[in-house]
Amino acid sequence: MRLIAIMAILGILLFGCTQAPNAAADNATAPGMAQPPAAPPPATAPGTPTPNKAPPPGMENVTAVFTIHIKNFAFEPSEVTVPSGAKVVWVNDDGAQHIIKAAGFESAALSNGAAYEHVFSEPGDYPYSCGIHPSMQGKITVSK
Ligand SMILES: [Cu+2]
């Protein structure tokens, strides 16, 4: 196919644009005034930095991200089922401070607008509460 294309281009150059080159007369439609095929575009536009394909640190094994809001002294939603490898992010929408406290991890005191994240890589149930207000309860269920 490449040889035919080259011959077609040569035919255009030799015989001019008014005549269809014979080499392309087999089955293909004569290209007529078509220009030679342009070079393929570069993989990245000039000036565009090459994106880093590696995930950022801490995100290598993250399969999904779930956000839980802390609002009116409650976790919303209070019970979440996530796949193994999910990252859960708690965001404090309250004016009061809260702490995410579970058997295996504990956040700092989160002020309004602050967030805490934890990646759940092992399936299981992870009940948690607020370290300041123990009546605030939640549970993360990590499926396989
Ligand atoms: Cu709290």
**pLDDT tens, position by position, 59-115:** 667 889 999 999 999 999 999 999 999 999 999 999 999 999 999 999 999 999 999
Q: Give me the mean pLDDT over the 49-60 stretch.
A: 63
Exposure letters 105-143 (e unless 16+ CB within 10 A, then b): eebeebeeeeebbbbbeeeeebebbbbebeebebbbebe
Ligand 1 center–CA 84 separation, angstroms: 26
Paired with 85 in beta bridges are none
Paired with 141 in beta bridges are 81, 125
Which position has the higher pLDDT, 32 or 106? 106
Predicted pLDDT of residue 32: 53
Distance CA 38, CA 60 (A): 39
Domain boundaries, the chain: 1-37, 64-143
pLDDT band for position 140 (50/70/90)? very high
Ligand 1 center–CA 129 separation, angstroms: 8
Q: Give me the mean pLDDT over the 118-133 stretch.
A: 97
Ligand 1 center–CA 137 separation, angstroms: 9
Element (H, E) at 44: none
Ligand 1 center–CA 142 separation, angstroms: 23
Specify the CATH number for 64-143; select among 3.30.43.10, 3.40.50.12500, 2.60.40.420, 3.40.50.2000: 2.60.40.420
